[in-house]
Chain A
């Protein structure tokens, strides 16, 4: 696999990952593997009550405090805020406490053991106030804990006139569905190292998805211009959204300690702190009211979608947006209304997690459609078949489906791969009198790739490609490699655009001092949006060389160009595909440049003595445009499905007085190798005209389907509905006993 001018190209091949060797030899350097001379360690003293007012901070006289660096809100040089979309979240609480993990005091010392003792030597005296701990209490305004009405954000999405359809409907079907919080549980905890001084500015190295988010937050916190704040992503041990916003907080804390002490400060969370204090997936409640005709046509969908945002706004507005747009699924319905709200509570802020609001609203819809099908008297697949979107139809945001889409074909293929129909019948027979009840269920869904609506235009991402003196090329992007394979897939795209070997393409370290702002590493946008820009920049680079009239393949010609003209690089800036319009007011228009389409089928077995459920087979079939790297793509799907299995059955965040009570890996149960069945990943490839090499986004899609498919399979196995996840053994027991 060497040499240039490879006829078949690099896209579409499972080349060895760029980061493979470093990771299997233990040479990859994560933040905790980095040390600096004279480095101190930092820890955080947090609130223990979920809501109240700080009266005083007491420092035990048993601790030699003069040896420690102590930072409170008073030591912040700029604004006391972790800025993202809004400025409501303080970096360090000074008066008001809004959740149980609110950071209040920071300590640094060179000895970790002394530091732990010192953390215990700080007492925060608080006058507690009553908090709000459920969506209902927040909506009823039991206490006002945020703004004037507890509403962090709301949207009204309207297509057609849903109120006109109730009288003419043959059936009106209602339902309520709930999902719990979920911990990202990247295996590498959050961590940062910072150096900082008024003269040099601030530099941080750490585990993160979005170097430029961290930079933006630090600029406000320290009142420094961009050129004085440098952010470098270390090798990042998983993110899944959990390292989208929180790294700004921990970077701020480490940098404040470094600023005051004049020494490098390393701050690494342990698992318990990471699970208790950092963001999780938003818990949700969705209410559906659906008008349907006798022959199973969806006439109107009225959806109330509510997320628990926790104590601060963070990313709730955009999570809510994605959930809203996905709430009516890949179905054709002339009248759709979604009233979506993110409400404040006194839990630590919820935030980004793979799927970003869509898994919640898709769970509700795919459960609800099974209920609708039962009322109409159709099999669940037949109801969906009668309502699938086709090319030319309008989605719930009024977006015309421009690409060909064949959900019927996907459904047929997924059913034949699982032998779905035969299994429905054979399970019904074999379950009679059996202790183990088996069931099969499915979900059909879509996932939009890239930022919502006008988001990509606001981001205005920039990507660079630079020719190297040895005839290779270097990609300059802020997209971090957190395991999803971006350093490999982006290099494949560039190699094909330039017509050089994959081995000659490298990806520069994500250092804000060296790479342009190609936007955050989120929203399944890296391959599709950033990748397209890499392709554009690479093609422009090639054109530059051709214009200079230098003959030969790119490697030879670019090396010659550099000798004559100096550096050869090109920066490409995002431009929306033609004909894309979005109206933020009515929430109508082209919500996403492209959608991936999927049918997931799950088979479950439930032991009716222990009420334990397990997934025994799983088929994930999706249309994601052209697949750039089949093995990386399959790995993304398999990993996402495993997380989805955890979300559906095992992962249960237990809250007690506003804090996570099971914040350890021993009591927060997530799937092990023994719990995950063989996952069969299938692709249908329809190249997308505006993606690099025809690719669409893929990273988030696989978390959307497993939970509803599994809940539908549980219903099939046990004959009772499962409208709330996780379906833990306790919940299964309650459902089964309640039905007797």
Chain B
């Protein structure tokens, strides 16, 4: 198949590359860009392991054709830790045991990352709804829910400290 030149914006960086028009975003991320944090767990868009954030929305990258997302901002798990420093949600996962085998984790974290961007203090139902498309076989979801609560508390404390700093 003939390749097309595409220009993708991933984790704030532009990547120009030649890809076949039938390639999924998942394959391009994993194989062409070697961003292997995003996982493939099924063949029928039903596991959520491949979840990335596209223009602020969680999307299944195994369903998207790479050529169609040239005007989008794409965010993967690799973007969440800045200079080796984990994000609050990632810290929550480590602290609360939200990740066991870890294979669902990148997708889980990206779904929840989007939730926390829009909902500062989600209810348990909102958390569960946000990950209802992300299947985890290891945890029974309890420690994932706790990880979110941990992150929410940490973010709030950080905000309070920030305010106090401004006042002082």
CA distance A229 to B38 in the complex (A): 31
CB neighbours (8 Å) of A428 from chain B are: none
In the complex, are the beta carbons of A673 and B141 less than 8 A apart? yes
In the complex, are the beta carbons of B42 and A665 less than 8 A apart? yes
0/1 interface trace, chain B 93-137, chain A, CB 8 Å (1 if under):
111111111111110010000000000000000011101111111
In the complex, are the beta carbons of B132 and A187 less than 8 A apart? no
> Taking CB as reference atom, which chain B residue is nearest A236?
B101
CB neighbours (8 Å) of B46 from chain A are: 664-666
0/1 interface trace, chain B 22-35, chain A, CB 8 Å (1 if under):
00000000100001
CB neighbours (8 Å) of A670 from chain B are: 135, 137
In the complex, are the beta carbons of B44 and A238 less than 8 A apart? no
In the complex, are the beta carbons of B43 and A237 less than 8 A apart? no
Q: Does A125 contact B (CB under 8 A)?
A: no
Q: Does A138 contact B (CB under 8 A)?
A: no
In the complex, are the beta carbons of B97 and A635 less than 8 A apart? yes
Q: How far is the CB of B21 from chain A (nearest CB, A)?
A: 13
CB neighbours (8 Å) of B86 from chain A are: 21, 24-25
CA distance A28 to B90 in the complex (A): 14
Partner of B37, one of A25, A642, A643: A25
CB neighbours (8 Å) of B8 from chain A are: none
CB neighbours (8 Å) of B100 from chain A are: 238, 483-485, 635, 639
In the complex, are the beta carbons of B128 and A673 less than 8 A apart? yes
Q: Which residues of A179-206 have CB atoms within 8 Å of chain B's CB atoms?
A: 184-189
Q: Does A545 contact B (CB under 8 A)?
A: no
In the complex, are the beta carbons of B140 and A638 less than 8 A apart? yes
Given contacts A24-B105, A186-B101, contact A635 B137 (CB under 8 A): no
A-B contacts, 23 listed (Cβ < 8 Å): A16-B94, A21-B90, A24-B99, A24-B105, A25-B81, A27-B37, A28-B102, A187-B47, A187-B103, A188-B41, A189-B41, A235-B102, A238-B138, A271-B41, A271-B47, A634-B142, A635-B140, A635-B143, A665-B42, A670-B135, A670-B137, A673-B129, A673-B141
In the complex, are the beta carbons of B138 and A483 less than 8 A apart? yes
> Taking CB as reference atom, which chain B residue is nearest A672?
B132
Given contacts A187-B104, A188-B39, A665-B46, contact A23 B99 (CB under 8 A): yes
Stretch of B53-61, B72-80, B152-160 at the chain-chain interface: B72-80
- Scoring B109, B127, B139, B141 by chain A CB atoms within 10 A of each residue's CB, the highest score goes to B141
> Taking CB as reference atom, which chain B residue is nearest A680?
B142
CB neighbours (8 Å) of B66 from chain A are: none
In the complex, are the beta carbons of A29 and B44 less than 8 A apart? no
In the complex, are the beta carbons of A21 and B140 less than 8 A apart? no
CB neighbours (8 Å) of B97 from chain A are: 14, 17, 631-632, 634-635
Q: How far is the CB of B84 from chain A (nearest CB, A)?
A: 9
Interface size class of A (residues with CB under 8 A): 35 or more
Partner of B135, one of A187, A236, A484, A641: A187
Q: Does B36 contact A (CB under 8 A)?
A: yes
Given contacts A16-B95, A189-B41, A638-B142, contact A672 B101 (CB under 8 A): no
In the complex, are the beta carbons of A639 and B132 less than 8 A apart? no
Chain B residues in the interface with A (C-beta under 8 A): 30, 35-44, 46-47, 49, 76-78, 80-81, 86, 90, 93-106, 109, 127-129, 131-145
CA distance A27 to B104 in the complex (A): 13
Q: Which residues of A598-639 have CB atoms within 8 Å of chain B's CB atoms?
A: 631-632, 634-635, 638-639
CB neighbours (8 Å) of B37 from chain A are: 25-27
Q: Does A719 contact B (CB under 8 A)?
A: no
0/1 interface trace, chain A 341-371, chain B, CB 8 Å (1 if under):
0000000000000000000000000000000
0/1 interface trace, chain A 14-45, chain B, CB 8 Å (1 if under):
10110111111111111011000000000000
Q: Does A240 contact B (CB under 8 A)?
A: yes
Given contacts A24-B105, A26-B36, A631-B97, contact A639 B139 (CB under 8 A): yes
CB neighbours (8 Å) of A188 from chain B are: 39, 41, 101, 103
Q: Does A54 contact B (CB under 8 A)?
A: no
CB neighbours (8 Å) of B106 from chain A are: 26
In the complex, are the beta carbons of A20 and B44 less than 8 A apart? no
Q: How far is the CB of B17 from chain A (nearest CB, A)?
A: 17
Q: Does A130 contact B (CB under 8 A)?
A: no
> Taking CB as reference atom, which chain B residue is nearest A189?
B41
Q: How far is the CB of B91 from chain A (nearest CB, A)?
A: 8
In the complex, are the beta carbons of B102 and A237 less than 8 A apart? yes
Q: How far is the CB of A401 from chain B (nearest CB, A)?
A: 30
CA distance A394 to B16 in the complex (A): 72
Given contacts A639-B139, A676-B141, contact A24 B41 (CB under 8 A): no
Given A25-B37, A271-B41, 7 other A-B residues pairs in contact with their CB atoms under 8 A:
A17-B94, A24-B109, A188-B39, A188-B101, A271-B42, A483-B100, A635-B139
CA distance A29 to B106 in the complex (A): 13
Partner of B78, one of A22, A25, A32, A679: A25
Q: How far is the CB of A236 from chain B (nearest CB, A)?
A: 7
